[in-house]
Structure 1
Amino acid sequence: MRKEDCFYVGTIVNKFSFKGELLVKLDTDEPETFLEMESVFIAIGKKLVPFFISSSQLHKSMLLRVKFEDVEDEAAAEALLKKELYLPLSFLPPLEGNKFYYHEVIGFKMIDEVHGDIGIIEYINDSTSQVLFEVQKGDRQLLIPLNDHFIKKVDRENKEIHVATPEGLVELYLS
């Protein structure tokens, strides 16, 4: 399994018991959706290694308490601290309307209601305080805030996102 074919679930942040249980900080608004997982991939070095889950339960809202098969003691659990968990993209439920997964809209055309076609979404940068669409128009890159108020329509069939950008933003890049 390749990381490109997966989505990030969370990171193992702490040991829970001397029997090998671990706490995972989940990257989700709905942690209960991860209670039924049978297995996950853990990033070890440059590889994704499958681990089977023998039990899991929510712990203090955003943490998942997990017991992996074959992780029987503190030393085995210690080796997994700070490791990231992944699941295949096929596990994501389909979204409808104007909701979307970041990976889903890469390659979509961005259509502004005033300026028309303003380019192709190349990347979504979520490492800044404001999540940004990185849109390529010819040799220029536009940085458009990912804001629910700007997004008017996600057209999956035609691979387009229709937006209403703030006045002056597109001109800043294309003039």
Structure 2
Amino acid sequence: MQKEDCFYLGKIVKKYSFKGEVLAKLDTDQPELYDNLDAIFLEVRGSLIPFFVEDTQLHKSELLRIKFEDVDTEADADSILKSGLYLPLDLLPKLEGNKFYFHEVIGFKINDKNFGEVGTITAINDSTAQSLFVIDRNGTEILIPMNDDFIKKVDRKAKTILVETPEGLIDLYLQG
């Protein structure tokens, strides 16, 4: 399984018991969706390795307690600590309306209600407090905050997103 065929689910953050159980912090608003998994891919030394799940249980709402097959001791658990958890993309719940996954909108065109066609989304920058659309407009990079108030319509068929940004925001990038 290649990383590009998967989505990041979370990370193993600590050991839970001397029997090899671990706690994972999930990167989701709905951790209960992932409470009955049969297998999870762990990123071990840059490769995705399938691990079979014996048992899972939600722990203190945002953590998932996981018991993997063949991870039976503290030493086994130590060996997978801090590993990223991945699942195949086809296990992602389908989103509707104006909700979307970041990977899903790369390549979509952005149109602004007042400005017109802005450009093509090349990436999502989520390293800041507010995630940003990174848009290429004929070689010029434009950043638009992914603010629910700005996003007016996501059209998956046409691969476009209609936004309404504050007046002058896009022009700031085009003055040169």
- TM-score class, shorter: over 0.9
Unaligned runs of 5+ in 2: none
Deviation by residue 1:43-79 (Cα, 9 ceiling, x = unmatched): 0011000000000001111010000001011110111
Deviation by residue 1:56-106 (Cα, 9 ceiling, x = unmatched): 001111010000001011110111111110001100111111111110000
Partner of residue 134, structure 1: 134
Equivalent residues in 2 for 1:96-135, closer than 5 Å: 96-135=96-135
Partner of residue 66, structure 2: 66
Following TM superposition, the consecutive aligned residue runs of length 4 or more in structure 1 with deviations greater than 6 angstroms are none
Task: Write the distance in 1 (CA, Å) between the matches of 2:149 and 2:63.
Answer: 31
Q: TM-score with structure 1 length normalisation?
A: 0.98
Partner of residue 31, structure 2: 31
CA RMSD between the two structures: 0.7
Structure 1 residue 4 displacement after superposition: 1.0
- 1:160 and 2:165 aligned: no
Deviation by residue 1:116-136 (Cα, 9 ceiling, x = unmatched): 110000001111111100000
Report the 3-state secondary structure (helix = DSSP H, G, I; strand = E; otherwise coil) of the residue aligned with 2:98: coil
- Percent identity (aligned): 59
Q: TM-score with structure 2 length normalisation?
A: 0.98
Task: Write the distance in 1 (CA, Å) between the matches of 2:78 and 2:46.
Answer: 19
Unaligned runs of 5+ in 1: none
Partner of residue 91, structure 1: 91
Q: How many residues end up aligned between the 2 structures?
A: 175
Task: Write the distance in 1 (CA, Å) between the matches of 2:26 and 2:60.
Answer: 11
Partner of residue 44, structure 2: 44
